[in-house]
Every structure is written in structure tokens, then in C-alpha cells.
Amino acid sequence: MKLEIELNGTRRSVEVSREGKRSNFAIDGRAMDADAIEVAPGIYSIIIDGAAFEARVEETVTGLRIAAGQTEFLVAVQDPRKWNPSRSGALEAEGRQRVLAPMPGRVIRILVKNGDKVEAGQGIAVVEAMKMQNEVRSPKSGVIERLLVSENQTVAAGEALIIIA
């Protein structure tokens, strides 16, 4: 997905693509060694060139407000037709998606069934890890193609749970 954004007053071209569970990022055509995972709604763990950051992301009328440490970034999306935020403020995934377990644990609830229509950001399963329940959300709007796990099943981090078309 390619986006034209304005980051604190500077115009940038950002490209995000996925390979399995890893996202690839390029800014102004320069590939970055970066990885990001949503650890809680609106809170991301980000690694850029080996340095770790926690970022809080909040959706605004024109784009996003991102706070990382003491620094705040205002991101305005220049072509809103290409921007499709989910309920969590993240960009919506494209194409057929395998939804992966975010951590090792036990699937305690499946909130959808085969053939259900889902919206980006909608809760689709609950995984319990270390006595905490973590809702797994749909990365895109689509249809549940296949459930790969059942309730009370133990899963490893990165294990496929559900396929969404």
C-alpha cells in the first residue's frame, strides 16, 4: 500500500507491504529495517534499525497523531481514498489474510464462524496468555474463509488462527 502523507509539515511517500507476519516499510523510496506490532489498542511496539520504541497512535480527522516518548508526530494523509483506517487506527490489510496468534496461549473464544462478514478492527477471537485475555482483531474487512483453530486449543506465537478473504 502506498500513501502520500505530510509528517509534521514535510511531505513523504510511504509504502507498506507484508511478507507473512513481517511488515516492510519504505519512506521516499528508501527501505527501512523496521518492524511494528500492535500490543494493545492504539499502542505499538516498533523497532527501527535495532532501536525499540513504544508509540501511541490516535486517529484524527485528517490522519493520525503519533506519540513516541516525548516526541509527537502529526500525520496528514494526502490521498484519503487510499487510507482505510480500522477501528484501532491502523491501516487496513489488503488481499487474503491469515490472522496470526500474537503470542503463545490458549484460544478461549472464537467470535466468528465460517462465512461471517467482518469489518477491519472487529474482534474475531480471544487468546488468553499469562491470565490476560487478548482480543485478536480482523486486519481487513472481508469474509471468514476458514477457522484453523478451535476454542480451548493451545497456540504458539505466530500460529495461523483464521483466514479472511
Own/partner long-range contacts of 152-158 (Cβ < 8 Å, ≥24 apart): 152/106, 152/107, 152/108, 153/106, 153/107, 154/104, 154/105, 154/106, 154/107, 155/101, 155/104, 155/105, 155/106, 155/107, 155/127, 156/101, 156/104, 157/101, 157/102, 157/103, 157/104, 158/21, 158/100, 158/101
Contact 158, 100 (CB under 8 A): yes
**CA distance readout (Å), 15 to 18, 57, 159:** 10, 18, 26
* Residue after which a domain boundary falls, among 40, 57, 82: 82
* Residue after which a domain boundary falls, among 82, 113, 141: 82
Same-domain status, 48 and 25: yes
What's residue 80's pLDDT? 47
Tell me the per-residue pLDDT of 135-163, one tens digit each, with 9 for 90 and over.
888 888 899 999 999 999 999 988 899 99
Q: In which domain, by residue range, is 13 found?
A: 2-82
Same-domain status, 101 and 78: no
In a 13 Å sphere around the CA of 63, the CA atoms on its Cβ side amount to: 18
Ranges of the chain whose pLDDT falls below 50? 80-90
**Mean pLDDT of all residues belonging to the chain:** 81
**CA distance readout (Å), 36 to 33, 86, 94:** 11, 16, 17
Number of domains in the chain: 2
